[in-house]
A = this chain, B = another copy of it.
Amino acid sequence: MTNIALLGLGVVGGGVAEVISQNNDTIARKTGEHINIKYILDLRDFPDHPLGGRVVHDINTILADPEVTVVAEMMGGSHPAYDYTRAALEAGKHVVTSNKEVVATFGAELLRIAKEHHVRYLFEASVGGGIPVIRPISSCLAANELTEVDGILNGTTNYILTQMIQASKSFEEALAEAQQKGYAERNPAADVEGIDSCRKICILSALAFGKLFSPNGVHTEGITAITGEDVANAEAYGGVIKLIGRTGLVDPSDPASGVFMLVAPHVIPHDNPLSGVDDVFNSILVRGNAVGDVMFYGRGAGNLPTASAVVSDIIDIIAHKDAEIFVPDWTSVSADELVAQQTLPYAFLVRVRIDATYDAACEQIRSVYPGVEILTNSDAYASVLSFVTPQTTESELKDALSTIGEAVSLIRIMPE
């Protein structure tokens, strides 16, 4: 029997208790051991919960008990989650977590501490909810030089965009509906402004390239400025708008060429498999120099899917007990070391305001981008025109637009 402690009995913590209770015999069949939740740390008491008698309020009860070998941290937020994680690792306990904020901010340090204390720090649940992605990248694709990772990493924003695309809702309407269904929080900023996606792509980037870039400095755009016109223009171009976390090598054939990373709405052409990922589903596309493109798909949130990943990490620890497992070595670096996103090659879907007749406005655009296709009809023209640029960079585009008119919106088009 393996004794564990849960830190937090919220949505994910409650899910973990439920999955262990429901599937404990299956787990024992696979590992030879049952899991026993010996303690649950929470500020609250849970007199009506079947495990209510195991709730404690002092982390030291858990740290001091040598029978507890695994701690599952599902508190959310940086503090005290980071502090408790660190203390547990230093006390020689394995830690598994669903807390992307802690992994994205302190992951390099915590992995180092885990290594020093011959324990493991696992975080499958921090990206993609229940979708297996962390271990597949670090283990199943280990034979590859990875060159790029692109992901739809946030279910809330993907639900909102899907409603805007398929039901022609406005951003505000779709957000209100997502809140009503429990897919978005009352304060949706971390989701709709891309902060959650940013933490996740930082974790994936560290897995792929060994450097944990500080999420704070990563170029991050959310979806609050996306309008029905953008959605229609994307459709006219042949794609759909998705919020994408993207990281990769600038030159896929040269690992020394530098790493880029950004979070932003992208037009995903219909022939890209990410274009079909709708509603609250997440998907992560990984490119390796041997395997080509592989994609992982599933529910990126929810209590049971996320709990599935947490418990699978616990099972992995039980199944490899006493083994000296290879621990990844991450360097913590400033986002200043990223290749500047303004220099990345992109075509852009542009909306621009030009105070002129339709024909004159078209001519003004074509004087800079000869032969470019204008997506706006003369009938629909009311001083704003949409078009798709040839491949350029954000820096060049902004220079060019200064001679054309006032930029209303710039959306990147996902390269092949």
Say yes or no: is A44 at the interface (Cβ < 8 Å to chain B).
Answer: no
* A132 to B293 alpha-carbon distance, docked (Å): 11
Complex CA distance for A227 and B139, rounded to whole angstroms: 42
| A226 on the B face (CB < 8 A) | no
Please state if A298 and B292 are interface contacts (CB–CB under 8 Å). yes
Known: A130-B290, A296-B296, A305-B290. A142 touches B27 (CB 8 A): yes
Taken together as a complex, chains A and B put the C-alpha atoms of A336 and B266 apart, in Å, by 51
Which B-chain residue is minimally distant from A303 (CB atoms)? B290
What range describes how many residues of A lie at the interface? 35 or more
Q: Is the CB of A288 within 8 A of B308?
A: yes
A30 in contact (CB, < 8 A):
yes
- Give the nearest-CB partner of A130 in chain B: B291
Asked if residues A141 and B145 are in contact (CB atoms below 8 Å), the reply is no
Decide if A294 touches B130 in the complex (CB within 8 Å). yes
Chain B residues, Cβ within 8 Å of A15: 290
Q: Which of A102-110, A236-244, A310-318, A379-387 lies on the face that meets chain B?
A: A310-318
Contact between A145 and B26, CB atoms less than 8 A apart = yes
Q: Which of A1-47 contact B (CB under 8 A)?
A: 15, 19-20, 22-23, 26-27, 30-32
Q: Do residues A308 and B291 form an inter-chain contact, with CB atoms below 8 A?
A: yes
Within the complex, the shortest CB–CB distance from A31 to chain B, in Å, comes to 6
The contact sample of 9 A-B pairs, CB cut-off 8 A, is: A19-B290, A130-B291, A131-B294, A132-B141, A132-B294, A140-B309, A141-B312, A142-B319, A320-B320
